[in-house]
Amino acid sequence: MNTALPRELLCQELQKPTDQVDLAKAALYLAQEDYPDLDVDQPLATLDRMAEALQRRLPPEDYPLKIIHAINRYLFEELTFRGNDLDYYDLRNSFLNEVLERRLGIPITLSLVYLELAKRVGFPMAGVGLPGHFLIRPTLPDMVLFVDPFNQGAVLFEQDCRDRVRQLFGESARLDPQLLQPITPTDFLVRMLVNLKMIYVQRRDVFKALQAIDRIMLIAPDAMGELRDRGLLYYQQGLLDDAYRDLNRYLIERPDAVDAFEIRRVLAQIIRVQDQP
């Protein structure tokens, strides 16, 4: 399909003030490149209907934990949304339209469904990008707890998050407190696109991986790690001019990067090949 329109709409959405960005709509613009016939309004209407049903199930007391438990009961028990443990890297887990249809997802897309329902019933929440996992948290003043939609809405506290990081990365791993803070809509979408990029790379679908990185760079032009990855993909595909452009810029912006020596070697190889008669 012509990718210009979904990307233009995505950028327009992200130009709004942070608290006015429609994250679900933006995520559906991402999906439109893989689902060119997708009508964005239909999944949004599904979320609206879900929120209307949830509203009738909320407790009369405006107490955060009771609201979270009501959302959990509706989303995970009544509607049977769940994490796709059996096929985690199925691409459909990464697209909001498919997650709503199949009721299967990965941490970030299940978090997105949860966030959208919470927003529609007046309970403000935001995403939290832990290393190797994704959570959400209420944005109410003086309330520090986390919800894990991939694990049926389990309620966690800071120490639980630290324990989770140690389980994933070893006992010596330490969690930067900043990573427990709410992320912006742009950061949320970048994380979705990074997940897609990784799946495409694993599947050796270089064209789709490059498309994912192009969109990351479109909405987060300072994502130098993605610029480097795009340059290396170009290099692997023999697109040496494009590879040189990206990798050279990466070194200009990050001259002391831990991989600077290796990147300089790649650039030197590009120059040698291009200088051959």
Paired strand residues for 277: none
CA angle 183, 189, 194 (to 5 degrees): 110
Phi, psi of 155 (to 5 degrees): -90, 130
Topology at the third CATH level for domain 191-275: 1.25.40
Q: What is the pLDDT of residue 167?
A: 86
> Which residues pair with residue 148 across a beta bridge?
154
| pLDDT, tens only, 192-235 | 999 999 999 999 999 999 999 999 999 999 999 999 999 999 99
CA 100 to chain centre: 16
Q: What is the pLDDT of residue 198?
A: 96
Show pLDDT as tens, one digit a residue, over the chain (277 residues): 556 799 999 999 999 999 999 999 999 999 999 999 999 999 999 999 999 999 999 999 889 999 999 999 999 999 999 999 999 999 999 999 999 999 999 999 999 999 999 999 999 999 999 999 999 999 988 889 999 999 999 999 999 999 888 888 888 888 888 989 999 999 999 999 999 999 999 999 999 999 999 999 999 999 999 999 999 999 999 999 999 999 999 999 999 999 999 999 999 999 999 887 6
Class of domain 4-180: alpha beta
Q: How far is CA 262 from CA 250, 257, 267, in A?
A: 12, 10, 9
According to DSSP, residue 144 is labeled -
- Comparing 4-180 with 191-275, is the CATH topology the same? no
Q: Per-domain residue ranges for the chain?
A: 4-180, 191-275
Coil, strand or helix at 166 = helix
Is the distance from CB of 1 to CB of 33 less than 8 angstroms? yes
Residue 197 CA to residue 200 CA, distance in Å, equals 5
Joined tokens for residue 145: 């707890």
The whole-model pTM stands at 0.94
